[in-house]
């Protein structure tokens, strides 16, 4: 193979024999051991290296092709990536799964035991981080030159354990054994400044930081499916600079003091903030954000300079996507680099900045729009605050010119909130400093532009676009569900659907084929049996997602208790169900943790009662993550998407489940609406208030106790909880529902429970259910992240594919 400058690269074979040869050579030369003495960990790491080498070869060719093309790059800046287990993905994408299995067995290793050692890097909290990973997968699959930038947290999202039903958080030292997929690049370290002061020297502002930290990158390969393209995700890890070790103190025996600066520096990438949708409000988090932004922008500029000389070309070669507000400091940072360091005039720099950046907003919760205390930001990043003030002055001039005498509007739009405390509003900065702002589902974008960001929409309507989220069919169908994937390929006569998910529509006519339906049912049954939770013949009713009151796991729990009461009353006519909960609550989110605790208490009671045998089981496997999602999603029959309408920006679990043939019971919230539009109202169990109704009820005189008084089953469920039948925690949960019910759980209860009876009726007719299930899969090809990326390309990035020769 010919790389640039005539460099030849030998091609690594993918036959079992070639794979085995390299496996052994890696075992000897890189791992330094032998077949006889190799541990399972040795075998795993050797396997990883052997697979990685095959992708690295494609990576080299990709880099050469990209260098030659000098294209517009897509850079994705995200504080979170939930990449999922790497081994299975890389085996599939490199086309070496079979060869690897044969080679391992030939060497006397047990492939499944070895595969089980692959640890997923949990560098994200939930949907936002997983979306980032799906987009990277699709960018590579679609041959778009792209780099993801993030933070290499030492400790990822905490491991969840249950102690007496309570959530306990344990650190996730995911790379404890080292990470064989990573390529560290200590020679590419960046220096990041914090604190200090600014001065003006020769007409230019100079920031002299009071503290510096090093950012060491390492990258993981991001292969495309069915293409030779291999992109990368580059993750930064904070390191102390040499100077931060205090030799004098060490010599004096002050060991802790000698390393305290180093520890402080390294803490920056120590841990992922386990919040979802709520700002942590801590200086360390702000430091993390700037650390990510500063390292990544320097790297982006370095890459630009490899092939370009003129700053005027920067925006046409660079599209940077800001994933939520977390990396929004990139806007003042790039201004600083261009104006202070490169000497561009302000207007030119601002035009480049605005044309380079775009912003994705992922929330509707006003409390989740990040703000930072002006004092804190000014202390940590004095020059950035000055730049934010300058940007603000221009923004407010524009607002005043467009809306004279509208002081309130000026106040609302200002980048600085004045009352009750002075805060920098990151979402306002994001919209101001970018070309496009996008919401993540149709309803979300509509609500964003009519509520949270309405003033900005009034000023700049053209800046707003919708890009509905999507999920990777490789990860969430092919890898998660090999059985259904084989059946789909069989039914369609091709496996091209894996890179063109619209082809799934070809399954729709097969609902008329009784043998196809029966095979479909068998696969679902087999997936449930493989999951091993509950009776595979029962309806598997799944609610998997982060715990948040707006997502309303408490509503599902009220339904469980109602079913239990019906069983105890005798003459139960519902279908057998296994109700599965999965998800974590932010460690500081007391109310969400109470709900987890209560679910576990109810599960213990329900499962122990012989009356429920064969009728109702409640399971709650701990530590829901991508690995577990890949087992639960293919087994699910019913998908619970029951948030209060107007609160869930999009959801992506809803897409994964529907795509895998689960039927949805859901509200008109987030992407549920688009799922229902596509699968058809007959194949979706809709209930509850819509967003407008919910808003009206919330802003009026909502009285949850009226619902309690009017509905006997609801009352019975709340009464047992309040009476402490499931422990003291129940009293707190019930009181919060009866007194406030912030998320209208009681208002939606009757409609939800009645709709669940329709679910039972549909399930009883297994042929009907199977038809609905197949139609869910056939009609949700739209929710591929490939389509999402295509939309970003058309409306936002305007970047083109670069083919890499196979
Ligand atoms: C989230 C939203 O809550 C989800 O609805 C959305 O699907 C996801 C990806 O766009 O982003 N925002 C957030 O802060 N965490 C999320 O999962």
Residue 568 within any structural domain of the chain:
yes
The pLDDT score that the predictor gives to residue 6 is 61
Coil, strand or helix at 203: coil
Per DSSP, which regions of 545-584 are E strands? Answer: 577-582
Residue 745 within any structural domain of the chain:
yes
Distance 306 CA to ligand 1 centre (A): 36
| CA gap 46, 30 in Å, rounded | 8
Mean pLDDT estimate for the chain: 97
DSSP 725-739: TT-HHHHHHHHHHHH
Q: Which atom of ligand 1 is nearest to the CA of 670?
A: 5
Q: Are residues 440 and 554 in the same domain?
A: no
362: annotated active-site residue:
yes
Residue 517 within any structural domain of the chain:
no
pLDDT digits (tens, 9 = 90+) for 65-117: 999 999 999 999 999 999 999 999 999 999 999 999 999 999 999 999 999 99
- Tell the burial category of 187 from Cβ atoms under 10 Å away from its Cβ (0-12, 13-18, 19+): exposed
Residue 593 within any structural domain of the chain:
yes
Whole-angstrom Cα Rg for the chain:
27
Residue 486 within any structural domain of the chain:
no
Q: Which atom of ligand 1 is nearest to the CA of 368?
A: 14
Q: Which residues contact 145 (CB under 8 A, 6 or more apart)?
A: 66, 69, 71, 72, 73, 74, 231, 799, 802
N-terminal to C-terminal alpha carbon distance within the chain: 10
**Alpha-carbon separation of residue 5 from 1, 9, 213 (angstroms):** 12, 12, 37
Q: Which residue has the tokens 């904070």?
A: 238
Q: Which residues contact 640 (CB under 8 A, 6 or more apart)?
A: 541, 542, 543, 556, 665, 666
Q: Are residues 595 and 720 in the same domain?
A: yes
Q: Which residue has the tokens 């009876």?
A: 757
Cα 747 versus chain centre, distance: 30
159's tokens:
């491991």
Pocket of ligand 1 (CB under 6 A): 126-128, 131, 276-277, 362-363, 440, 469, 648-652, 670
pLDDT at position 34 over 80? yes
Q: Are residues 452 and 573 in the same domain?
A: no
Q: Are residues 613 and 696 in the same domain?
A: yes
Q: Are residues 72 and 192 in the same domain?
A: yes
Coil, strand or helix at 221: strand
Q: Are residues 319 and 437 in the same domain?
A: yes
Q: Are residues 454 and 536 in the same domain?
A: no
Q: Which residues contact 441 (CB under 8 A, 6 or more apart)?
A: 466, 468, 469, 649, 650, 651, 670, 671, 673, 674
Contact of 188 with 217, CB cutoff 8 Å: yes
pLDDT at position 205 over 60? yes
pLDDT at position 9 over 80? no
| CA gap 243, 797 in Å, rounded | 41
Q: Are residues 456 and 581 in the same domain?
A: no
pLDDT digits (tens, 9 = 90+) for 486-522: 999 999 999 999 999 999 999 999 999 999 999 999 9
Residue 347 within any structural domain of the chain:
yes
pLDDT at position 8 over 80? no
Distance 737 CA to ligand 1 centre (A): 24
The pLDDT score that the predictor gives to residue 484 is 98
| CA gap 361, 622 in Å, rounded | 30
**pLDDT interval class at 3 (50, 70, 90):** low
Of 457, 552, 597, 656, catalytic = 656
pLDDT digits (tens, 9 = 90+) for 141-189: 999 999 999 999 999 999 999 999 999 999 999 999 999 999 999 999 9
DSSP state of 155: B
Q: Are residues 443 and 552 in the same domain?
A: no
Q: What are phi and psi for residue 74, nearest 5 degrees?
A: -105, 120
| CA gap 549, 347 in Å, rounded | 45
Q: What's the total number of domains in the chain?
A: 2
Give the predicted TM-score (pTM) of the model.
0.98
Mean pLDDT, residues 464-475 taken together? 98
Cα atoms in the 13 Å half-sphere on the side-chain side of 468: 19
The pLDDT score that the predictor gives to residue 274 is 84
Share of the chain above pLDDT 90, in %: 95
**Alpha-carbon separation of residue 306 from 68, 77, 474 (angstroms):** 11, 21, 33
Distance 131 CA to ligand 1 centre (A): 8
Which of 547, 649, 788 for a ligand 1 pocket mutation test, highest count of atoms within 8 Å of Cβ?
A: 649
pLDDT at position 2 over 70? no
Coil, strand or helix at 595: helix
Q: Are residues 57 and 155 in the same domain?
A: yes
Q: Are residues 166 and 312 in the same domain?
A: yes
The complex scores an ipTM of 0.99
Q: Provide the domain limits for residue 450.
A: 11-371+424-468
pLDDT digits (tens, 9 = 90+) for 372-391: 999 999 999 999 999 999 99
| CA gap 303, 74 in Å, rounded | 12
20: annotated active-site residue:
no
| CA gap 297, 294 in Å, rounded | 5
Give the residues across from 184 on adjacent strands: 218
Distance 232 CA to ligand 1 centre (A): 23
DSSP 615-677: TEEEE--SS--HHHHHHHGGG-SEEEE-PPTTT-S--SHHHHHHHTTPEEEE-S-TTHHHHHH
Distance 732 CA to ligand 1 centre (A): 27
The pLDDT score that the predictor gives to residue 77 is 98
Mean pLDDT, residues 677-682 taken together? 98
CA angle 629/630/633 to nearest 5° reads 70
| CA gap 208, 772 in Å, rounded | 64
CATH number, position 582 = 3.40.50.2000
546: annotated active-site residue:
yes
**Alpha-carbon separation of residue 276 from 126, 310, 452 (angstroms):** 7, 40, 18
Distance 423 CA to ligand 1 centre (A): 24
- Write the Ramachandran bin of 724: left for phi over 0, alpha for psi from -120 to 50, otherwise beta: left
The pLDDT score that the predictor gives to residue 242 is 75
Which of 76, 81, 127, 657 for a ligand 1 pocket mutation test, highest count of atoms within 8 Å of Cβ?
A: 127
Q: Are residues 773 and 679 in the same domain?
A: yes
| CA gap 483, 245 in Å, rounded | 55
551: annotated active-site residue:
yes
Give the residues across from 417 on adjacent strands: 423
For CA atoms 733, 737, 738, 742, the dihedral sign is positive
pLDDT at position 578 over 90? yes
Q: How many CB atoms lie within 10 A of CB 199?
A: 10
Contact of 326 with 289, CB cutoff 8 Å: yes
Contact of 73 with 319, CB cutoff 8 Å: yes
pLDDT at position 315 over 90? yes
pLDDT at position 368 over 90? no
The pLDDT score that the predictor gives to residue 10 is 73
**Alpha-carbon separation of residue 577 from 559, 574, 629, 749, 756 (angstroms):** 12, 8, 19, 19, 11
pLDDT at position 4 over 60? no
Residue nearest to atom 4 of ligand 1 (CA): 651
Q: Which residues contact 806 (CB under 8 A, 6 or more apart)?
A: 227, 228
Residue 649 within any structural domain of the chain:
yes
Residue 58 within any structural domain of the chain:
yes
Q: Which atom of ligand 1 is nearest to the CA of 126?
A: 17
Q: Which atom of ligand 1 is nearest to the CA of 651?
A: 7
Coil, strand or helix at 56: helix
Beta strand 318-323 with 73-77: parallel, antiparallel or unpaired? parallel
**DSSP-H helix ranges across 327-476:** 330-336, 346-356, 374-380, 382-402, 407-413, 426-432, 442-450, 454-459, 473
pLDDT at position 277 over 90? no
């Amino acid at each position: 193979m010919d790389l640039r400058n005539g460099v030849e690269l030998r091609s690594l074979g993918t036959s079992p024999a070639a794979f085995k040869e390299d496996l052994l050579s890696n075992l000897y030369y890189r791992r330094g051991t032998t077949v006889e003495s190799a541990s399972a960990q040795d075998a795993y790491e050797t396997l990883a290296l052997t697979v990685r080498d095959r992708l690295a070869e494609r990576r080299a060719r990709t880099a050469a092709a990209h260098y030659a093309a000098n294209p517009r790059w897509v850079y994705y800046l995200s504080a979170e990536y939930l990449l999922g287990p790497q081994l299975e993905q890389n085996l599939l994408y490199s086309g070496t799964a079979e060869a690897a299995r044969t080679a391992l067995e030939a060497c006397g290793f047990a492939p499944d035991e070895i595969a089980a050692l692959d640890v997923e890097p949990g560098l994200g909290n939930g949907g936002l981080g997983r979306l980032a990973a799906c987009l990277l997968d699709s960018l590579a699959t679609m041959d778009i030159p792209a780099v993801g930038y993030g933070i290499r947290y030492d400790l990822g999202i905490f491991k969840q354990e249950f102690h007496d039903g309570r959530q306990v958080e344990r650190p996730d030292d995911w790379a404890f054994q080292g990470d064989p997929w990573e390529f560290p690049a200590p020679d590419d370290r960046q220096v990041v400044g914090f604190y200090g002061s600014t001065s003006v020297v020769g007409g230019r502002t100079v920031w002299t930081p009071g503290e510096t930290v090093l950012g060491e990158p390492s990258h993981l390969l991001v292969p495309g499916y069915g293409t030779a393209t291999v992109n990368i995700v580059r993750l930064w890890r904070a390191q102390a600079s040499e100077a931060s070790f205090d030799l004098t103190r060490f010599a004096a025996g002050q060991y802790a003091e000698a390393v305290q600066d180093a520890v402080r520096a390294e803490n920056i990438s120590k841990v992922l903030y386990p919040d979802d949708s709520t700002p942590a409000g801590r200086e360390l988090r702000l430091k993390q954000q700037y650390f990510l932004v500063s390292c990544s922008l320097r790297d982006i500029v370095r890459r630009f300079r490899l092939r370009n000389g003129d700053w005027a070309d920067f925006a046409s070669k660079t599209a940077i996507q800001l994933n939520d507000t977390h990396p929004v400091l990139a806007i003042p940072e790039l201004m600083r680099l261009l104006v202070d360091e490169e000497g561009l005039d302000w207007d030119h720099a601002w035009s480049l900045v605005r044309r380079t950046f775009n912003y994705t907003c992922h929330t509707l919760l006003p409390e989740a729009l990040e703000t930072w205390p002006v004092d804190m930001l000014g202390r940590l990043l004095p020059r950035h605050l000055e730049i934010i003030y300058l940007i603000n002055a221009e923004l407010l001039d524009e607002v005043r010119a467009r809306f004279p005498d509208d002081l309130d509007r000026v106040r609302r739009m200002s980048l600085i909130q004045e009352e009750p405390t002075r805060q920098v509003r990151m979402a306002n900065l994001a919209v101001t400093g970018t070309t496009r702002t996008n919401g993540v589902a149709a309803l979300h974008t509509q609500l964003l532009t009519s509520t949270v960001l309405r003033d900005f929409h009034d000023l700049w309507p053209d800046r707003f676009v919708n890009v509905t989220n999507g999920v990777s069919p490789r990860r969430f169908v092919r890898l998660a569900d090999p059985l259904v994937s084989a059946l789909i390929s069989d039914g369609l006569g091709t496996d091209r659907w894996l890179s063109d998910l619209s082809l799934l529509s070809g399954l729709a006519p097969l609902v008329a084929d009784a043998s196809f339906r029966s095979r479909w049912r068998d696969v679902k049954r087999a997936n449930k049996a493989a999951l091993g939770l509950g009776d595979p013949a029962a309806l598997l009713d799944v609610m998997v997602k982060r715990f948040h009151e707006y997502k309303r796991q408490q509503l599902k729990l009220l339904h469980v208790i109602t079913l239990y009461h019906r069983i105890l009353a005798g003459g139960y006519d519902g279908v057998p169900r296994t109700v599965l909960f999965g998800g974590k609550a932010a460690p500081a989110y007391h109310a969400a943790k109470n709900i987890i605790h209560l679910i576990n208490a109810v599960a213990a009671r329900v499962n122990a009662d012989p009356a429920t045998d064969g009728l109702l089981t409640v399971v709650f496997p701990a530590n829901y993550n991508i690995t577990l999602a890949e087992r639960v999603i293919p087994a699910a029959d019913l998908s619970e998407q029951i948030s209060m309408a107007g609160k869930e920006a999009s959801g992506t679990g809803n897409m994964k489940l529907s795509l895998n043939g689960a039927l949805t019971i859901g509200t008109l919230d987030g992407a549920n609406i688009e799922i229902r539009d596509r699968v058809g109202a007959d194949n979706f169990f809709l209930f509850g208030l819509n967003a407008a109704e919910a808003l009206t009820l919330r802003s009026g005189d909502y009285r949850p106790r009226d619902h309690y008084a009017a509905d006997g089953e609801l009352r019975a469920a709340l009464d047992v909880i309040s009476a402490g039948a499931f422990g003291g925690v129940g009293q707190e949960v019930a009181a919060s529902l009866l007194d406030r019910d912030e998320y209208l759980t009681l208002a939606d209860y009757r409609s939800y429970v009645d709709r669940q009876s329709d679910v039972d009726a549909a399930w009883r007719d297994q042929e009907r259910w199977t038809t609905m299930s197949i139609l869910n899969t056939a009609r949700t090809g739209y929710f591929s992240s490939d389509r999402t990326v295509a939309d970003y390309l058309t409306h936002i990035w305007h970047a083109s594919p670069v083919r890499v020769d196979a």
